[in-house]
Amino acid sequence: MKRHFAFAPDEYYHVYNRGTERRVIFEDDHDYKRFLVLLYLSNGTAAIDLNEYFSQEGRSFLELFRANRGSQIVDVGSYCLMPNHFHLLLREKVDGGVSTFMKKLGTAYSTYFNKKNTRVGPLFQGRFKAQHVDIDNYLKYLFSYIHLNPVKLIDPKWKEKGIFDMKKTKEYLNEYPYSSYQNFLGRKQIEKVILTRNRFPEYFKTTHDFEEFINDWLTFDDEFDVRRPSGKRKRL
């Protein structure tokens, strides 16, 4: 499908993709961690032989996030990995940054996954999908949309019927390890180096601000309309 916009430096994008035929792309904790490391390593100008890099025995998870990747080509504002798809909020830093980053990321992870599972063929459903985020309200909203994805794993109909167990939902989100949610709560994560939050608007000056923002969207009965600068419209 042809995009109706061109990527450009200093612009923001919601980028996502899922497994071909909706297949699971993260089968275990190691798969998730591999992708997280690749989010860091793929975001740079340095040429890194990823196969050689990962094959070195004794290299810790922390060491992988200390590799010299050169200069960043995108800024990552938030991310969330789900069993069969992922979401990223990106800002392009240099011409071609988003496309180069996503090509490196997708190729590296597909190669790893196919080799691990003795499979061939595409892992993802076509090229990555992207939406240009040029409305401030929508950009802010995406910090909730992306981080609230895991709720569907324990309460698939929460958006249609509301949260069944708020306490359980908040506990699940607080402990979900494969998104940037915990970083926004102020917790110290090795994966924090993936993010460059200072390149995005400072919507949440404190962790309390972020928690209140998330609570609002967990309990809000309206839906978001990107086409309206006001941001929200009543559900029909």
pLDDT score for 67 = 83
Q: Exposed, middle or buried by CB within 10 Å (0-12, 13-18, 19+), for 194?
A: buried
Long-range contacts of 114-118 (CB under 8 A, 24+ apart): 116/31, 117/27
User: pTM for the complete prediction?
Assistant: 0.91
Q: Are 131 and 87 in contact (CB under 8 A)?
A: no
The pLDDT value given to residue 4:
79
17-62 pLDDT per residue, tens:
999 999 999 999 999 999 999 999 999 998 776 666 666 555 677 7
Helix, strand, or coil (residue 171)? helix
Please answer whether residues 133 and 87 qualify as being in contact, where contact means their C-beta atoms are separated by less than 8 angstroms: no
Predicted pLDDT of residue 234: 36
* Distance of alpha carbon 35 from alpha carbon 110, whole angstroms: 10
**Structure confidence at residue 202 (pLDDT):** 96
pLDDT average per 10 residues of sequence, the chain (236 residues):
84 97 95 95 84 63 84 98 98 97 95 94 95 96 97 92 91 96 93 96 96 91 53 39
CA–CA dist 188, 226 (Å, integer): 33
> CA torsion, points 136, 208, 74, 120, in degrees to nearest 10?
-110
pLDDT reported for residue 164: 86
Task: Give CA–CA dist 138/203, Å, rounded.
Answer: 12
pLDDT of residue 184: 96
Looking at residue 115, its pLDDT comes to 93
Q: Alpha carbon of 211 to those of 107, 187, 232: distances in Å?
A: 35, 13, 20
CA dihedral over 40, 43, 46, 50, signed as positive or negative: positive
pLDDT reported for residue 236: 25
Which structural domains are found in the chain, ordered by start?
12-133 (3.30.70.1290), 136-176+201-233 (no CATH)
Q: How far apart are CA 233 and CA 236, in angstroms?
A: 9
Condensed to tens digits (0 to 9), the pLDDT of residues 108-123 reads 999 999 999 999 999 9
* Cα-based angle 116, 118, 123 (whole degrees, multiple of 5): 80
State residue 59's pLDDT score: 64
